[in-house]
Amino acid sequence: MSRLCIGFEVHQPFRLNPDFSSSNGTDSLESAYFSPLNREILERVADKCYIPATSAILENLDKGFKCAFSISGTLAEQLEKWRPDALDLFRQAAAHKNAEMIAQTYFHSVASLFDLGEFEEQVRLHKKMLKSTFGATPKVMENTEFIFNDHIARSAKKLGFKAIYTEGVERVLGWRSPDYVYSCNGIKLLMRNYQLSDDVAFRFNNREWDQYPLMADKFASWAAASPGDYVNVFVDYETFGEHHWSDSGILEFLRWLPKECMDRGIEFITPSQAAEIPARDELSVEETISWADVEKDASAWLGNTIQHTALKAIQRARAYAKDKKMWRYLQTSDHFYYMASKFGSCADVHNYFSPDACKPYDSFANYMRIVSDYERLAAQKMKKKAAAMELRTVPPEEAFQFYTSSAYTGFTAYSLDDLCDLLNYVPKDSVEHHLRNKDLSRWVQDVLGDEALAGQMDACKNRLELAEVAAKKRDALWKSLR
């Protein structure tokens, strides 16, 4: 008998306010930083997807259908605020013996890409939310967008989970099939069959696809014919009614799939039941993989310079994180996803998921303005206010751009940290150009407010001396904040 394990990623971010410029600190940070469209989007998705899709699933759970939900903390908050009727349906599903709730990072964040300790804390926060909101104790987890490597496996094992999800990437599997259970660093590994998953998530409504239209009976026959111990299908829940509208037939597909599968002898299993299947092999995943884009790596969030700059900024912002929850909201993967600059089909997907097809640099600039404002407000309340203000991230309008005598180099410093790093590899003629014109010292004095450091930089004769005096001051300032 074939076995089918179906899981749903259920997530909405708190999208950032695209018109943000500066806050005065009197309003809540949420009202200043988050888009007023968040409620409108949530209401639409609830009506088009969450309510009809979950209602269809509830009808089938009593008939032997089984599935799993991974609901982010940011979505649970929005449902509680704006659509408790949709939240109640998820609670009904969570209470059913045939549905399972999966843990993830509460903020659907990229924390695992820069701090496993922070990642683990956010998973713990999500576990608490699942218990308090849904009465569920998760046994299986997935990291944001299936981001995974050996270190994340160790963390999942440390957190007490039976299994963790990731993508069935060929360069990791080699000759192996994703339709078996594996193990990695002492924890079971459930690998998504992305071919079958993407048939539903991406190709369902593609009239140029040679298998269009995809009906429930056809998909069930494919699943039944798949060799292996089980088939793992995992998709964005918004596939059902939001990404593919109801007139495409997607909700009818979801409603009839359980019957068509059972008619073909397919048994539905939960992720916990899949984790009981003996591991076929031990895998080592040294590189970071995910389910995103054709590369299936971390490039959806760290594929260009502005994404790396933004990630460094939010890492530094930990020192300002008296309001740790807001700091964590700013780690949500979607913010970095909107900054991606890809081509071809990957660009089409990123554009679809980005608010109003927002351009990557616009998303980045807006993000940096908000991080800068967050740090500025926090710095004003810190004991070492002057040091905190000098180390803060500055908004794009105040950042230092490195030029040669004729052109922009592409390098920009948004903080003293950035300046220290860039001085080590910005083109020599650019550094010499700014040294001659005293541009660097003027920026340090006028924007960062450090007259003493500006004087020291004016006395420097070359790149090495500039880098030394800047790094020495930077290190002293960070030490004073600890």
- Domain assignment present for residue 409? The answer is yes
Six token digits for residue 188: 């079971």
Query: Residues 259, 260, 261, 265: is their CA dihedral positive or negative?
Result: positive
Question: Between vectors from CA 114 to CA 327 and to CA 158, what angle results, nearest 5°?
Answer: 100
- Flag whether 192 is in a domain: yes
CB neighbour burial string for 126-149, b if at least 16 within 10 angstroms, e if fewer: bbebbeebbebebbbbbbbbbbbb
Cβ atoms within 10 Å, residue 44: 13
Closest-CA residue to 195 (of 243, 239, 142, 233): 233
By the 8 A CB rule, do 436 and 405 touch? Answer: no
pTM of the full predicted structure? Answer: 0.95
Secondary structure (DSSP) of 218-282? HHHHHHHH--SS-EEEEEEGGGBTTTB-GGGTHHHHHHHHHHHHHHTTPEE--HHHHTTSPPS-B
Q: Which of 100, 145, 167, 242 is catalytic?
A: 145
- Same domain membership, residue 395 and residue 264: no
The pLDDT, as a whole number, for residue 346 is 47
> For residue 429, what are its two tokens?
């003629």
Paired sense of beta strands 267-268 and 67-71, if any:
unpaired
Does 110 lie in the same domain as 227? yes
> Which DSSP state fits 148?
B
pLDDT at residue number 151: 98
Contact 99, 56 (CB under 8 A): no
The length of the chain is 482
Among the candidates 233, 248, 274, a domain finishes at 274
169-176 long-range contacts, CB within 8 A, separation 24+:
169/289, 169/296, 172/283, 172/285, 172/287, 172/289, 173/283, 176/280, 176/281
Q: Which pLDDT does position 350 carry in this prediction?
A: 47
Tell me whether residue 441 is in a domain: yes
Structurally, how many domains does the chain consist of?
A: 2
**One-character DSSP codes across 27-60:** S-HHHHHB-TTHHHHHHHHIIIIIHHHHHHHHHH
CA pair distance 3, 179, nearest whole angstrom: 10
**Which of 242, 258, 274 is the endpoint of a domain?**
274
Whether residues 387 and 254 share a domain: the answer is no
Asked if 294 contacts 349 with a C-beta cutoff of 8 angstroms, the reply is: no
CATH number of 252's domain: 3.20.110.20
Give pLDDT, residue 290: 98
- 291 occurs within a structural domain: no
Task: Please give the torsion angle defined by the CA atoms of residues 16, 21, 24 and 29, in that order, rounded to the nearest 10 degrees.
Answer: 10
**Domain match, 400 and 260 both:** no
* Peptide bond connecting 258 to the previous residue in cis, omega within 30 degrees of 0: no
- What range does the domain containing 54 cover? 3-274
Candidates 163, 218, 227, 155; CA nearest to 193 is: 227
Alpha carbons 271 and 9: distance in angstroms, whole number: 13
Q: Of all helices (H) and strands (E), which one includes residue 328?
A: helix 324-329
- What single string gives the DSSP state of each residue in 63-114? TT--EEEEE-HHHHHHHHHH-HHHHHHHHHHHHSTTEEE-B--TT-B-GGGT
Q: At what angle do helices 216-225 and 194-201 cross, to 10 degrees?
A: 180
Catalytic, 267? Answer no
Q: Is residue 216 part of a domain?
A: yes
Do 400 and 251 fall within a single domain?
A: no
d(CA 119, CA 159): 11
Amino acid at 432: E
User: Does 330 reside within a domain?
Assistant: no
d(CA 358, CA 342): 13
Rounded Cα gap, residues 388 and 395, in angstroms? 15
Structure tokens at 241: 């009614």
Q: Is residue 133 part of a domain?
A: yes
pLDDT in tens, the chain (482 residues): 599 999 999 999 999 999 998 887 667 899 999 999 999 999 999 999 999 999 999 999 999 999 999 999 999 999 999 999 999 999 999 999 999 999 999 999 999 999 999 999 999 999 999 999 999 999 999 999 999 999 999 999 999 999 999 999 999 999 999 999 999 999 999 999 999 999 999 999 999 999 999 999 999 999 999 999 999 999 999 999 999 999 999 999 999 999 999 999 999 999 999 999 999 999 999 999 999 999 999 999 999 999 999 999 999 999 999 889 999 999 999 999 999 995 555 445 545 555 655 689 999 999 999 999 999 999 999 999 999 999 999 999 999 999 999 999 999 999 999 999 999 999 999 999 999 999 999 999 999 999 999 999 999 999 999 999 999 999 999 999 98
Residue with tokens 């922009």: 408
Looking at the structure, do residues 395 and 262 belong to the same domain, yes or no?
A: no
Domain boundary among 274, 300, 325: 274
How far is Cα 434 from Cα 151, in angstroms, rounded to an integer? 42
Residue 434 lies in a domain: yes
Which pair of structure tokens corresponds to residue 461? 């004769």
